[in-house]
Structure formats: structure tokens, C-alpha cells
Amino acid sequence: MKITPIRLRRLNLGIEAKDAIDSLRITQSTFYKLEQGWTSPSPQLIKRIADTYKCTTDEIFKDLNIIG
């Protein structure tokens, strides 16, 4: 599995995948797609990611390479 910016952020915080999945209230499949950059999350999920990963939504947009 490649190291994407969003995955690196989670690993640097020491958050286990299972804990992130539970906190984000998403399926394991969606979680892995998200970490590999294969999906565009909803605004609500981006907010939950930012809260879980203790950063801003702008940082999540940058990590996921979402340009708006």
C-alpha cells in the first residue's frame, strides 16, 4: 500500500486503521479507497476526518488533492 499524504497524517498521529474507521463511521472499503485517493469524500466526511486527525478541512483538501 502506498503512503499517501492522508495516510501519512493518520500514521503520524498514531491512529490505527480500525480506530479511524470507527471514528469516521465509514466502511473498511471506503476507508482504504480514501487512503489510496480513489474516492472523493462528502463535505461531512471531510469534516469528520479533520476532527479525527486534529487538523483543518483545508489540510484534508490538500492531502486528498481536491481542488475547488
Name which residue leads in pLDDT, 67 or 45: 45
Mean pLDDT of 16-44: 95
Residues 6+ apart with CB under 8 A from 36: 1, 2, 4
pLDDT over threshold 70, residue 14? yes
Mean pLDDT of 15-41: 95
pLDDT over threshold 90, residue 64? yes
- All three cell numbers of 44, joined, read 461531512
Q: Identify each DSSP E strand in the chain by its residue range.
A: none
Domain boundaries, the chain: 5-63
Domain 5-63 class, CATH top level: mainly alpha
| pTM of the shown model | 0.91
Residue type, 4: T
